[in-house]
Amino acid sequence: MSDWSFMSQIASGLKRSNRGDPRWPTLWPSEATVVDSDGNVQGRCRRATFFRYAAARQAWEPYLSEQQKDLVDLWQSLKKPHSDYTLFVFKQGDLYEDFLIEMSKNVGVFVATQTPVYIKSANVSGKIDIEAINPETGKLSIVEAKSVHGFGGTKTIGKAATGKYAGKAGEPKESHLMQLGTYHYWVAQADESYEESRLVYGDRGTGQHAEFLVWTEPKESGTEIWYRQTLPYQGQATCVKFTIEDMLDQFQLTHKRTSDFEIPDRDFDLQYSYEKMVAAYNSGDLPKVAKVQMEKIFARQSENESRVAEGKKPLADLTLPKRGDWQCSYCDGQKFCYEYDGTPKPLPEWVSLGNPSKAPKPKAELMPMEDVDLSEVF
């Protein structure tokens, strides 16, 4: 009889290092940022990526001065721990992906999962969620799975056209198009065994789901990213307002900024100003509760105008709904960037003064990218 214990074996597996333990620091496709052709920043906040990446580089091969390290440590110490709710949301995202992997195996279209991708010129590494085979064409397709819910999820998914109802196009998140666009560009664009990639969304609350074809097209001005919704709404092919090269440039800029320790400005707002709230109201981007509150604010303003005209004292202004950019809502850096009431917090004096003599330069450059051993990356 053997002394081997199944449960002890499982327990030893639980004690192993987690994925994500120290490894050569890279940037991630989910951290892509661009300034689009309208001048708007899309994707991940460059300040958030800066601190995440600087901390990873410092842990791998210390290169920051004491003062710079203190600032990175301050960022780390102010990290807002994720609530149980948020952790469950993250896990549900993983479970949705696991479900799609399992089902794609059941229906015979599964090829691979967690395929590593590394773009050396920008030091970007990521993993493809699913590679599937299209049984109709025999070609491979990269699938990126995202789970959504609530007002934002409904907007992302859209509605099918039925009877007299014209339906509504879904609106994929720019950051997801950037992530999948990067994978498609690097893995599939020049490989004839691949066809369009697929960005798929599932609503955790309703079971509604959506699918968008995503592909890239090299042009003289850069590599364009295109998408077309195929489910539940049949959409038109649409080109996004930035190119793959715009994204890669930003990754390279972030790498350089962490080397030079140039802290980027905030790209997003934890709490929108009145002007931004009005713009969001006018473009229909507010959920119901915020929309109703804005209407109360407008009504109070016109009431006050009448009161002032009648020589009466105006009533107190109503407070703005709590609303800002999703990037700040989920960001570790909230306490670093903002005061408790959502007003922007200044950087430590030597940084905000822009006095480079007070901000010591890095002691050493990191290992040159050419020398990176890929076995360390994955």
Q: Residue 103 CB, nearest distance to ligand SF4 (Å)?
A: 34
| Residue whose CB is less far from ligand SF4, 174 or 203 | 174
d(C-alpha 280, C-alpha 223), whole Å: 31
Task: From 280, 311, 310, 312, select the one nearest 297 (Cα to Cα).
Answer: 280
Point out which residues bind ligand SF4 (CB under 6 A).
Answer: 45, 47-48, 266-268, 270, 327-328, 331, 333-334, 337
The CA angle 361-365-368, to the nearest 5 degrees, is 155
Measuring CA to CA, how many Å separate 173 from each of 23, 63, 314, 326? Answer: 29, 35, 42, 11
Please report the sign of the dihedral spanned by the C-alpha atoms of residue 277, residue 278, residue 279, residue 281. Answer: positive
Rounded to an integer, what distance in angstroms lies between the CA atom of residue 65 and that of residue 53?
16
Q: CB of 233 within 8 A of CB of 160?
A: yes
Select 52 or 198, whichever has its Cβ closest to ligand SF4: 52
**Which amino acid belongs to residue 111?**
V
Locus of tokens 């307002």: 241
Smallest gap from residue 308 Cβ to ligand SF4 (A): 37
What's the min distance (Å) between Cβ of 342 and ligand SF4?
Answer: 10
Rounded Cα distance, 242 and 372, in Å: 29
Q: How far apart are CA 56 and CA 165, in angstroms?
A: 51
Nearer to ligand SF4, 49 or 125 (CB): 49
Q: Considering the complex, state which of residue 214 and residue 328 has its C-beta at the smaller distance from ligand SF4.
A: 328
CB-nearer residue toward ligand SF4: 48 or 225: 48
Q: How far is the CB of 32 from ligand SF4 (least distance, A)?
A: 14
Q: Is the dihedral of CA 312, 276, 149, 329 positive or negative?
A: negative
CB of 273 to ligand SF4, least distance (A): 14
Phi, psi of 56 (to 5 degrees): -65, -40
Nearest distance in Å: CB 334, ligand SF4? 5
Shortest distance in whole angstroms from residue 5 CB to ligand SF4: 46
Identity of the residue, 178 or 270, whose beta carbon is nearer to ligand SF4 in the bound complex: 270
Closer residue to ligand SF4 (CB): 52 or 184? 52
